[in-house]
Structure 1
């Protein structure tokens, strides 16, 4: 059964970033929050915690890792070892803490642009330096530039921060490309840290390969950081897992200061455990059906109202990467769209120089809001509008 978005008037009661950054006349389709009700199992877990006052520090032993291991087995055919996981506040924090320990100040870390804008800041926070190796655009899809990555490692890069599924393009990297990436990194004594926060949102028919499940090489040099926050809209509750698959990488994560784990939110742990349980599988399947309909609707609306816009339906997630170059609205068209159409989209250039003339649109909402947004934007392209 599909998961339906909440009505706009109810959404405007929310106090999160999506609904408080802009005035009420703006349709917010920028930040990666969704407009759906929580999965029932999550609501039940949080309501019970409030009822009994279960609001203390997160425990040193929780059911979260076991819940994720079961989820990974059901959804990806992967059996990670729950003993080789450790929680923290969010995926960004997990990335920084790992990078701090696999690089030295000034080391170069590869990011595959266009990419989630905080990646640039996270590398710098860890004391390293960003090295950009853009995705290759084949004309029909995006893929890792393995030759460029190899060259970067040959010239001294020490790690690669992978986004899989990729934000903003929605690309799910193939098992073959991930296997090659792992071999390249291993040959150069480098590390791969894989942000897999969008993995639960891979559409049926597309195969998601967890990096740590691709090969022995990947298990030897890789770390994954995962969370229920994007699929289940739990970002504000602060919970993620750092996952490892070898004795050496597990030892590094176990050696992190205890405060790294204590930053996990108690509500985040409870909500994520419920999200990863079998009880939430039907809700997630319904959400994927809704998002599949929405990504197709967006394609139809763009074809009908903004035919010069270039859009590829994403393999995963609810973020659309749209090239508006041919509209001639400048390198950052989101500014005009916000000012004149009252639709807030994420600024393309924030994702790297490859994002010039692009926008990122969040379609994790109702068909009515998507339709209204594209209608407003299309009106800007009418002569004299």
Structure 2
């Protein structure tokens, strides 16, 4: 199935954040929304719900959990017990409520910057204190980034209670190797700590990588971990509000089931319908979207090499977000500001992702090749 971005004239009719945050002369390549049309099976499921006026509260249906479990088995050879999964509104709620059930007020929670900015807000919302263990630059191939396993061990030994893991890692598109995840699970188990794994970008893993669910790597991971999943990023469903707690052990599942009933019943009924359709019937569309994303991933390399050779870029292995190093360009700690003001291209400032992001920007390339080319041309003209 071929998936192509909608034309700008149609995109500007959308009313979501991406298309309302800035004036029409700005190319919005910031927030993680894709420019592709909704997958037909999802649109059909939503239209059918509207046609039957099916817009009430969620009922005791477990179709979403079963659809996710079947998808996980097909996609990642990960066997999930649907009875150990529970829905809620979004991944942020999964993370905050998971932290609340695992920590006491004042406990330290590890993040691995540069990392998804809301992590810094979720932790205090849950009563915790942020402890940073930055990623190491280098990685397995000498060109990327990697978890600082030794740094995580020191943090756990020093009393940190939870690692808030980003897997795959946003903004880097880093797919953590199984061996590192196994090591993290062993460390958490040894120190009596926990791992909360945000895996919302997992379905967007590219064809040259293999996603490893944290809960699949070992029995220790299943005992110490809980994962957050949703169709929101892979199928562009953020506004429909449905996500999943996934537990790998009965003990953790019991903790999740003990959360207040309101955590679950605030799930959007339409979101659950759309999510079930995505996991059950949306893979052909997803594969088409991934082909478009990978084409743009390579196009961005070509454009930067040709027009902005001092900007460093390592192609991500998951999602549609590029982490661009503008430090050699000499545009200061926040090049996104100049790019917005002078080129009229909206990107995410790297500093939002932690101190390690100074001089970087995050660019969303889930758009048409024409829009991506125009954006880089505008920036190169500064």
Q: TM-score, normalised by structure 1?
A: 0.98
Q: Which residue of 1 aligns with 2:136?
A: 136
> Which residue matches 1:28?
28
Q: Counterpart of 1:2?
A: 2
| 2:84 corresponds to | 84
Distance 1:124 1:36 in 2: 35
Task: State the shift of 1:280 in Å.
Answer: 1.4
SS at 2:233 equivalent: helix
User: SS at 1:248's partner residue?
Assistant: helix
Q: Secondary structure at the match of 1:231?
A: coil
SS in 2 for 1:331: coil
Q: CA deviation at 1:263?
A: 1.2
Report what 1:345 is aligned to. 347
Match in the other structure for 2:306: 304
C-alpha separation in 2, matches of 1:2 and 1:362: 20
Moved over 4 A (4+): none
Q: Distance in 2 between matches of 1:342 and 1:241?
A: 37
Matched length: 379
Q: Aligned residue for 1:198? A: 201
Q: Which residue of 2 aligns with 1:221?
A: 224
2:331 is the counterpart of 1:329: yes
Please state whether the residue corresponding to 1:361 is helix, strand or coil. strand
Alpha-carbon deviation of 1:317?
0.2
Q: Does 1:42 align with 2:33?
A: no
- Residue 281 of structure 1 and its aligned partner are, at CA, apart by 1.3
Root mean square deviation of aligned Cα: 0.6
Partner of 1:164: 167
Residue 281 of structure 1 aligns with which residue?
283
Gaps of 5+ in 2: none
Q: Which of 337, 348, 367 in structure 2 is aligned with 1:365?
A: 367
Shift of 1:58: 1.0
Q: Distance in 2 between matches of 1:358 and 1:60?
A: 46
Query: Residues 141-156 of structure 1: matches in 2 within 5 Å?
Result: 141-156=144-159
- Among 221, 231, 252, which residue is 2:234 paired with? 231
| Alignment match of 1:260 (pick from 243, 259, 263) | 263
